[in-house]
Amino acid sequence: MSDGNEFSFAMGEFTATFPNDRSYAKNHMWAAHQGGLRWRFGLTQYAVRLLQDVYFLDWVVEPPQTITHRMHIGAIESKKAESDLYAPIAGTFSAINSQTLDDPSLINAAPYDDGWLIEIDCLDAHPDVLLTPEQYAEHLIEAWKVAQRTIKGQANE
């Protein structure tokens, strides 16, 4: 469902929303072009909902550092999971949001605003690995099927 400014995706009883003015990565990060070759990234509401209550971030790379697509760049811990974070695009890891390091709850409260994570300077003006909102909406359908199987498996343990 879309209202022009955002689209939504039903996750059981919860509905996640996604701004249409962003691009998306398959690892459930949003990407907002900051001008030039710089892109800002954060976790989508889908990722935040699955993680629930993020309380710790750790980066294993520091700006400025050259990174490759899918390179391990950090980790995130939450009420539900501990997960590695991987680079959504290749380029120069150029900034870390110090506010989310100091207060990771910003990721839960404002994932598309103050809760952003990192900035990367890309070699291309628009990296071809990023998805349009429409492509990401399609990706969510398959990702949700996998997430539901995982959740049901954990509930049966």
Which runs of consecutive H residues, i.e. helices, occur in the chain?
45-51, 98-102, 105-109, 133-155
The upper half-sphere exposure of residue 50, i.e. CA atoms within 13 Å in the direction of its Cβ, equals 24
Q: What is the pLDDT of residue 153?
A: 63
Q: What is the pLDDT of residue 42?
A: 98
Beta strands in 3-148 (DSSP E): 6-11, 14-19, 23-25, 29-35, 38-43, 54-59, 65-67, 72-78, 82-86, 91-96, 118-121
CA dist., res. 134 & res. 149, Å (int): 24
Structure tokens at 59: 């980066």
Q: How do the pLDDT tens digits run along the chain, 157 residues long?
A: 456 799 999 998 999 999 999 999 999 999 999 999 999 999 999 999 999 999 999 999 999 999 999 999 999 999 888 999 999 999 999 999 999 999 999 999 999 999 999 999 998 777 899 999 999 999 999 999 988 887 666 544 4
- Predicted TM-score of the model (pTM): 0.91
Identify the structural domains of the chain with CATH numbers, from first to last. 6-143 (2.40.50.100)
Which one, of 32, 43, 16, lies nearest residue 111 by Cα? 43
